[in-house]
Amino acid sequence: TATGGDFAKAAAKATAYAYNIKKAKKLFAEGMKEVGLKKLTLTIEGSSDSTVTKSTLDTLQQSWSELPGLTVKEKLVPFKQRLLDQENHNFDVVLAALSADYSEPLTFLNMFVTGGSNNDGSWSNKEYDALIK
């Protein structure tokens, strides 16, 4: 934080995430209407050679399938193939993991800067870029 305090403690207080399926359904329906869709199928890709991927994909599939109109499929591929698909932007949703290489939030926040080397989803937001800069 700007004061030099522990970012994790500040973030935990500021975010306070909670599971709210009613709100999720409402927001998802609004988003579907905004883009003119009644149904959507997403495939989540993960590494077949990881011991935790299948259970994580199952949990995501079960949770996301509660959203009306959304069908979620699973795709398990070897780690090297998942990396290639990720680098080539050949995925709907990809399950990846990254460990921090230093104890500061920018190790993760930099992942989403426009054109960043780890921004495999190609997400872009000028305000976000300015805040990170």
What is the enclosing helix (H) or strand (E) of 117? none
- Amino acid present at 32: M
Total residue count of the chain as it appears in this document:
133
What CATH number is attached to the domain comprising 108?
Answer: 3.10.105.10
Kindly state whether residue 92 falls inside one of the protein's structural domains.
yes
Q: What is the pTM of this model?
A: 0.74
Kindly state whether residue 63 falls inside one of the protein's structural domains.
yes
- Whether residue 98 is predicted with pLDDT greater than 80 in this model: the reply is no
User: Rounded to an integer, what distance in angstroms lies between the CA atom of residue 94 and that of residue 31?
Assistant: 21
Spell out the SS3 assignment of 6-70. Answer: CHHHHHHHHHCCCCCHHHHHHHHHHHHHHCCCCCEEEEEEEECCCCCHHHHHHHHHHHHCCCCCE
User: Rounded to an integer, what distance in angstroms lies between the CA atom of residue 41 and that of residue 71?
Assistant: 5
pLDDT of residue 1: 47
- Whether residue 79 is predicted with pLDDT greater than 60 in this model: the reply is yes
Kindly compute the dihedral angle of the four CA atoms of residues 32, 71, 22, 12, in this order, to the nearest 10 degrees.
-100
Residue 46 belongs to domain spanning: 39-132
> Domains in the chain: how many in total?
1
107-133 residue pLDDT tens: 888 888 998 888 888 889 999 999 989
23-73 residue pLDDT tens: 999 999 999 999 999 999 999 999 999 999 999 999 999 999 999 999 999
